[in-house]
Amino acid sequence: MRDRKRERLEIIHDILKIIREHNNSILPTPLLRYSNLSSQRFNEYLSELIEKGFIREVFDKKGRRYLSLTDKGFKYLEKYKKIIEFIEEFGL
């Protein structure tokens, strides 16, 4: 259990990391559970991440919606540490 409020960048990182750790394909319900967010906040983040091209929706033959990372999503995970280090170093 985290003892402090997660910041926006950290929440995005956590959501993307969960998808990556599930072989880059996960249903929205387990993603909501693992992300430790309220349903409303989760949907807001998910919509934003899809809209900004970090996550794409993939539908299987039964019409179930899976979530996968795009190249931009992988790039974000790769650069996350640098972004945080930059913010902390310059007090931003």
Partner 1 sequence: MPPSIPICFRMPPMEFFAIELVYSAIVVFLCFLIYFKTKEIYDLSRYKGIYHFRNAFLFLSLAYLVRLFIASFAFSIQLFDSRIEAPPNEWLMVRVLILLISYFSFMAIFSIACSLLWKKLESGILQHDVVLHAIALALSSFIFLTRSYYLFILFHIALLPILILTAVINYRSSEKRGPFISQIYIIYFLLFAFWVVNIAFLPLRGLQIEVRIPFYAASVLIMSLIAYRVVKIVS
User: By the criterion CB under 8 A, which residues form the site for partner 1?
Assistant: 4, 9, 52, 72, 75-76, 79, 82-83, 85-92
Q: Which amino acid, one-letter code, is at 38? A: S
Query: Of 41 and 52, which has the nearer Cβ to partner 1?
Result: 52
Minimum distance of partner 1 from residue 57's CB (angstroms): 20
Cα 38 to Cα 30, 31, 42: the distances in Å are 13, 12, 6
Query: Of 58 and 87, which has the nearer Cβ to partner 1?
Result: 87
Minimum distance of partner 1 from residue 79's CB (angstroms): 6
Minimum distance of partner 1 from residue 72's CB (angstroms): 7
Please name which of 72, 38, 82, 14 lies closest in space to residue 90, comparing C-alpha atoms: 82
